[in-house]
Homo-oligomer: A and B are copies of this chain.
Amino acid sequence: MLSKKTKYGLKALTYLASQSKREPVQISEIARHENISQKFLESILLTLRKTGFLGSKKGKGGGYYLIKEPGEILLTTVIRVLEGPIAMVPCVSLNFYEKCDDCPDENKCAVHKLMLQVRDSVLEVYRNNTLADLISE
């Protein structure tokens, strides 16, 4: 299941991407427009800023804005920041690899074999999509 954090984060990003101008948009506006709990959204936008997707401006007239072009923001990176590993098991994760406790030999493991395929096919989807692709015309 996709966490609400990721879901809300993606929605907020696309909302920002669909703005005609790159000017600060307030949390409250995004929350209202996307039906998201404002306080929860706060924490999400904060991590998106700390991880380099958003810029922010404090104080009156402040808000959040994209600091890259939507076409340059790959979904792989967004998902990894918000949701964590793309792989469904750590033993097939590219960025968060961990060996299984059980499982003496990965190459003979059915789960490993299957989840490798899943990882690759999901990864391809994410790699083929930027934020720009998600904005509906």
Contact = CB atoms under 8 A, between A and B. Distances in A.
Instruction: Tell me how many chains of this kind the complex includes.
Output: 2
B11 A110 contact: yes
Contacts of A102: 34-36
A135 B110 contact: yes
A125 to B, nearest CB: 5
A134 interface: yes
A122 interface: yes
A124 B125 contact: no
Given A34-B102, A122-B122, A2 B108 contact: no
A116 to B, nearest CB: 10
B114 A136 contact: no
A114 B35 contact: no
Interface of A: 1-2, 7, 10-11, 14, 34-36, 75, 85, 88-89, 101-103, 107-111, 113-115, 117-118, 121-122, 124-126, 129, 134-136
14 contacts: A1-B89, A2-B89, A2-B111, A10-B111, A10-B114, A11-B111, A34-B102, A35-B101, A35-B103, A110-B136, A113-B134, A117-B125, A118-B126, A121-B125
